[in-house]
Structure 1
Amino acid sequence: MTMTLTDHPDVFSPASGRRKVAKLKGASKARSDQTRSRVILAMGAFMLVYGVISGRLMMLGMTDQSTLGGRGGGAQAVSTARPDIVDRNGEILATDIKSASLFAEPNKIIDPDEATELITSVLPDLDATALRKKLSTQAGFVWVKRQITPQQQTQIHDLGIPGVGFLTENRRFYPGGPAAAHIVGLVNTDNQGIAGIERAIDERGLSDLHQAGFAVKSAALEPVRLSVDLRVQHVLRDELVGAMEKYKAAAAMGAIVNAKTGEVLALASLPDFDPNNPVDANKPDRLNRMTAGSYELGSVFKSFTFAMALESGKVKMTDSFDARAPLRVGRFTIHDSHSLGRVLSVPEIFQYSSNIGTARMAMTVGQTLQQQYLKQFGLATKLQTDLPEVATPQLPKRWSDVTTMTVAFGHGIAITPMQAVMGDVALVNGGHLLSPTFFPRTQEQAFADSTVMVSKKTSDEMRWLFRFNAVNGSGRHADVPGYVVGGKTGTAEKIVNGRYVNGHYLNSFLASFPMDDPQYVLLVSVDDPKPEKPNLPALAAWNAAFVAGNVIRRSAQFLGVTPRTEQEGHPDAMLVSY
């Protein structure tokens, strides 16, 4: 019998074809189910792993970092990070560096006596008794010493003391040391600002940020740029250091302020301190005398009396006053240190710094107007500035005719030296009273927030008097050729135990330059200077004026003031009008 291919039951028969397709579909479904199971299993495994990790992170987040035994646990949260402080040119004045701090976990220390002995062998300044007591408790965490040196860290680490470890903290470093100490200020062990701009930064919101729990890294904080020029700061401080040595003075201080903006370019007060090792910072003689001290400035104050008199309209530049004899008011006598015994014109009263003439001018103004002008000039209220350390002026409790006369030449009233600087700024910049700032500010911003202290006419007349005094009067030693300097000296007797002491002075020179278009105001004060030579006086014209001249000569180039020759600048041309 013959058989065809179609007759074979397993080859190409309709029934066998359907069976084959069914088998293939079943196998495919089985493989698909198996793959799905594997994917679900893998996803479950991944979810389990991530769940364990998340749970561990949550546990760590809820754990008190101070109880962690590992080195570096919670290290970044121990001390706060701070922004860099830089000068107007980007030079770093303060920055954070990493520093190791030593801690212990007393509940893990086997032998407190041995641990104390080992630690104090590296850190002998620690109180062994107090440390032993601290290590003998069951506490989970105690500080042993904050901010140790890398060498000390290595030595203690090599001792292998159980229960002792290190945390990395932020430590403040000041590259310039004491160069700008009273401006920048300093921080405490926890890197919190406690003085100067450091404290001002915290008060502007940094401390609130840290207290809210935001652990900001130093690199994430924008640098705080100041108006200070570190080059000018070095010049000012260097000259004050030299003045203290040269005149054997007890202290010295000074500041340079932009007359157009009120920006402080430099401020120094000596003796000062090194913020990197501020062991002397709290001594009474280390205060910032420019803002935190108030003093009788003597004849420097006459500048404001002249401005009051001229602004009131009761005194004119062409007027004259009798200075032939001392003024006697009751039991008080007012006299001139170098009497000319004649009637003096207003410019001559300024030139010769006549107490008698100035007192008569003040009486012409009257005590009521005098008190009003003191407030208008910002001399009767506390100075508003960026530094937290600011003293309140000391005004007379009672105002009599004698008070009016003595206040006129700077006796019986004590103000901060920075108030005198800012008052002089207004006297030379057209009459705009500005608040001093340690942060960059434009002239437009400064003038928008200013108040009118005197008219432009009075300002022009005061500029003339300042220049006249530098050319012909007590400011001659500060008149640096080419810089058109003007200013006023002040020799104030110091008060000891409530009495004026003859021969002990606070000497000052208040200068502006260039006087035909004042850009900067400078104050230099030398406290209790001695004569440079036996035959020379210890008055302001012979020390403070010299120092001011040196500061101007050395700093003018940094300040952008170009010296001019007589032909180019005609520095005395402004004197012709009177």
Structure 2
Amino acid sequence: MRPWRKAVPPEPAAASPAAAGAHFTLPKERHKGDVQETARQRLVVTSVLLVVAFMAIAMRMSYVSLLRDGGEPTQRVAARGGTIQSERADIVDRNGIVFATSLPVMSAFINPHLVIDAQDAARKIVSALPDLKYDEVKAKLDSDKTFVWVKRGLSPRENDRVNRLGIPGLEFQAEERRIYPQGMTGAHVVGYASIDNAGLGGAERYFDQQLQSGQTVQLSIDLRLQRMVEDEIAHAVQKFSAIGAQAIVMDATNGEILALASLPTYDANKARTITNEALFNRATLGVYEQGSMFKVFNTALALDSGKVTLADRFDASSPIKIDRFTIHDDPDVPHRVLTVPEVFKFSSNIGSAKMAVEVGTEAQRAFFDKIGFLKPIHTELMELGTPLYPQHWAKINTMTIAFGHGMSVTPLHVVMGVAAMINGGIEFPPTFLKRTSASDPGRRVIQAKTSMTMRQLMRLNAVEGTGKKADLTGYEVGGKTGTAEKVAHGAYARKALFSSFVGAFPMSDPKFIVLVSLDEPKGTKETGGYATGGMVAAPSVKVIIEDIVSLYGILPGDWNARPASLEISSRPVQQNTMARAVPVAARGQRVDHKALPLRPGEHLAAPPGVRRASVE
């Protein structure tokens, strides 16, 4: 029971506001206005939240469309069609012919969560795309993912068939597909790109950022010559049952690579079928003992050093025995005292070894370092081999390297080096880009007079020596053979040869260097069972030289300070004549070599007397 409290009388009422003339709002009406204001604020907040949510969704959709995350689309266009602008630029040859380009294509993807009947959907998809396997498609549709690719890069016909299936969750994505119109031609130079248009090999890989930014890459390769070179070495591989081959054509005056081929090769349009063997670029990545082609460098070193002259002779009458090794010559090399030109012409190992000893080990190593043979070449491909050479460069190494054993380099090294030996002594870094007028000036590696002598010696080899099968009447071809036994199980395999020939023309003003190598060729009845560089590689060099003079419209005696242009032109080729008389002969006619500006035997005779190099 509550205690009793005395009632308190109410306070006097305040004066009426109305009586004072003031505005008066009823309490009930004031409450109603507050509610409306609160509602408006809530609507604004809700609207803002919805806008933010939609923006987040839009950003996420853009992210899914633009970036790859666990196999999601990578292109710049949303699903369900639309146009796409190519962003990866073209790769073209020196004349502007397309090697690689990008085309818009459609790709199909699906959300497995939206598929009603996975088995039926997989059956329909495989019926529309017979190259797919049912089990693989069914596994994708049974997965927990919300996105899986069905097939990327659909052809127009495939796109139409898939579009007609009407499968829930099946959508299309506009993408780019890299196309290689020339197929296998130039594959190892051009390279290839992934399905996401990332460069994976060759120029595609080296110039990936440039191509992605829309800048066209113009190569130094001439597509027409490239095809000719590839056809010829493919014929040689078949004829001599070789396991592989490579060929390079280089402009000796500036280092441009006009053609480069490696067999086996691949078709970049069929990236899934490319094997590791086909990907291997023998011309730039393979390192091999080059055999007697190294005598070009050994002879140039000896003459340039001043320690050996053309007047010197070396005794090659008996093998050299050093430690447990014996250095001997092939049976067809005269076993007698040889002049320096004869050492080169007959390709004497004994004479070359004694010349190297005369120069010395340190000078030999320094020379090969100077011409870039002790490191990978810097050029516009990333598939570059690293030379192999002795860590402890002993006397025996000096002797064997003189004739191309005990040191391994890439064929691209050989071409670069030979060009410098005969173009006046200037070495140009090999390039796969078409050079401008402001080309690399190169650097001097031997004296000009030494280079002139090397031209004479290489011409002599093609006229009277081991390179006769490369000579082409009227074009002053010079060259050097190389036959090296491959190493197998720690020893040299006599029947596993790496047979090569490096040729150049015209030797009065060298413009083109051509190298062909066959890997493990087999002799035929035509070659007398021999598979040497002079028998199997030199004939291919001759064919390629014939292709070059035919392609560029070069006639015998057509040489001056500016050789024929290599670019396609609608104008007829201008026939030039040399300041010095050069005999002009039709195919098949004999040329009097004594009348050539550089007579093969001129200044090459040596006076009596023998220089005996010590080999102890």
TM-score range with shorter-chain normalisation?
A: 0.7 to 0.9
Give me the whole-angstrom Cα distance separating, in 2, the residues matched to 1:106 and 1:291: 47
The question of 1:438 aligning with 2:432 is answered yes
Give me the whole-angstrom Cα distance separating, in 1, the residues matched to 2:271 and 2:299: 43
The question of 1:381 aligning with 2:375 is answered yes
Partner-residue secondary structure (3-state), 2:598:
helix
User: Structure 1: which amino acid aligns with 2:115?
Assistant: I
Paired residues in the alignment total 509
Q: Can you give the 5+ residue segments of structure 2 that lack an aligned partner in the other structure?
A: 1-50, 66-72, 559-581, 586-592, 605-616
Mapping 1:276-355, distance limit 5 Å: 276-284=269-277, 286-337=279-330, 338-355=332-349
Give me the whole-angstrom Cα distance separating, in 1, the residues matched to 2:398 and 2:149: 60
Q: Is the 8 A contact 1:81 1:191 kept in 2?
A: no
Give me the whole-angstrom Cα distance separating, in 1, the residues matched to 2:53 and 2:87: 27
Q: Which residue of 2 aligns with 1:213?
A: none
Residues 74 and 58 (structure 1 numbering): CA distance in 2 closer, same or farther, change over 3 Å? farther
Return the match for 2:598 from 568, 574, 578: 574
Q: Which residue of 2 aligns with 1:43?
A: none
The question of 1:503 aligning with 2:514 is answered no
Return the match for 1:154 from 153, 160, 164: 160
Return the match for 1:403 from 366, 372, 397: 397
User: Structure 2: which amino acid aligns with 1:392?
Assistant: T
Return the match for 2:219 from 197, 214, 226: 226
The question of 1:453 aligning with 2:469 is answered no
Q: Which moved more, 1:140-149 or 1:178-187?
A: 140-149
Return the match for 2:462 from 446, 464, 470: 470
Q: Which residue of 2 aligns with 1:36?
A: none
Residues 564 and 73 (structure 1 numbering): CA distance in 2 closer, same or farther, change over 3 Å? same
Residues 318 and 489 (structure 1 numbering): CA distance in 2 closer, same or farther, change over 3 Å? same
Residues 555 and 114 (structure 1 numbering): CA distance in 2 closer, same or farther, change over 3 Å? same
User: Structure 1: which amino acid aligns with 2:216?
Assistant: P
Q: Can you give the 5+ residue segments of structure 1 that lack an aligned partner in the other structure?
A: 1-53, 210-220
Q: Is the 8 A contact 2:294 2:403 kept in 1?
A: yes
TM-score by length of 1: 0.83
Q: Is the 8 A contact 1:280 1:286 kept in 2?
A: no
Q: Is the 8 A contact 1:79 1:191 kept in 2?
A: no
1:129-175 CA distances to partner (integer Å, 9 max, x unpaired)?
45334334564432122112322222221221111022222111111
Q: Is the 8 A contact 1:432 1:454 kept in 2?
A: yes
Q: Which moved more, 1:141-150 or 1:395-404?
A: 141-150
User: Structure 1: which amino acid aligns with 2:294?
Assistant: F
Give me the whole-angstrom Cα distance separating, in 2, the residues matched to 1:444 and 1:429: 19
Residues 533 and 574 (structure 1 numbering): CA distance in 2 closer, same or farther, change over 3 Å? same
Give me the whole-angstrom Cα distance separating, in 2, the residues matched to 1:340 and 1:263: 39
Q: Which moved more, 1:424-433 or 1:140-149?
A: 140-149
Q: Which residue of 2 aligns with 1:548?
A: 541
Q: Which residue of 1 aligns with 2:407?
A: 413
Give me the whole-angstrom Cα distance separating, in 1, the residues matched to 2:312 and 2:57: 83
Q: Which residue of 2 aligns with 1:428?
A: 422
TM-score by length of 2: 0.78
The question of 1:113 aligning with 2:113 is answered no
Q: Which moved more, 1:499-508 or 1:141-150?
A: 141-150
Q: Which residue of 2 aligns with 1:528?
A: 520
1:385-418 CA distances to partner (integer Å, 9 max, x unpaired)?
1011001001113222111100110001100000
Q: Which residue of 2 aligns with 1:100?
A: 106
Q: Is the 8 A contact 1:66 1:140 kept in 2?
A: no
Residues 244 and 320 (structure 1 numbering): CA distance in 2 closer, same or farther, change over 3 Å? same
Return the match for 2:238 from 239, 242, 245: 245
Mapping 1:244-263, distance limit 5 Å: 244-263=237-256
Mapping 1:32-71, distance limit 5 Å: 62-65=59-62
Q: Which residue of 1 aligns with 2:481?
A: 489
Residues 129 and 504 (structure 1 numbering): CA distance in 2 closer, same or farther, change over 3 Å? closer
Q: Which moved more, 1:306-315 or 1:525-534?
A: 525-534
Give me the whole-angstrom Cα distance separating, in 2, the residues matched to 1:104 and 1:425: 57
Give me the whole-angstrom Cα distance separating, in 2, the residues matched to 1:528 and 1:279: 28
Residues 111 and 195 (structure 1 numbering): CA distance in 2 closer, same or farther, change over 3 Å? same
Shift of 1:495: 1.5
Residues 73 and 156 (structure 1 numbering): CA distance in 2 closer, same or farther, change over 3 Å? closer
User: Structure 1: which amino acid aligns with 2:367?
Assistant: Y
Q: Which residue of 1 aligns with 2:10?
A: none
Q: Which residue of 1 aligns with 2:612?
A: none
CA RMSD of aligned residues (A): 2.6
Shift of 1:111: 2.5
Shift of 1:486: 0.4
Partner-residue secondary structure (3-state), 1:556:
helix
The question of 1:88 aligning with 2:99 is answered no
Give me the whole-angstrom Cα distance separating, in 2, the residues matched to 1:356 and 1:75: 72
Mapping 1:128-207, distance limit 5 Å: 128-136=134-142, 139-202=145-208, 204-206=209-211
1:423-456 CA distances to partner (integer Å, 9 max, x unpaired)?
0111111111111111111465221xx2221111
1:343-397 CA distances to partner (integer Å, 9 max, x unpaired)?
1000000000000000000000111111101101111111111011001001113
The question of 1:358 aligning with 2:352 is answered yes
Partner-residue secondary structure (3-state), 2:186:
helix
Partner-residue secondary structure (3-state), 1:421:
helix
Residues 298 and 244 (structure 1 numbering): CA distance in 2 closer, same or farther, change over 3 Å? same
Residues 377 and 67 (structure 1 numbering): CA distance in 2 closer, same or farther, change over 3 Å? closer
User: Structure 2: which amino acid aligns with 1:282?
Assistant: T
Give me the whole-angstrom Cα distance separating, in 2, the residues matched to 1:499 and 1:135: 56
Return the match for 1:267 from 255, 260, 278: 260
User: Structure 2: which amino acid aligns with 1:109?
Assistant: V
Shift of 1:200: 1.2
Q: Is the 8 A contact 1:67 1:141 kept in 2?
A: no
Give me the whole-angstrom Cα distance separating, in 2, the residues matched to 1:453 and 1:428: 11
Give me the whole-angstrom Cα distance separating, in 1, the residues matched to 2:245 and 2:353: 29
Shift of 1:521: 0.7
Give me the whole-angstrom Cα distance separating, in 2, the residues matched to 1:324 and 1:138: 81
Partner-residue secondary structure (3-state), 1:193:
coil
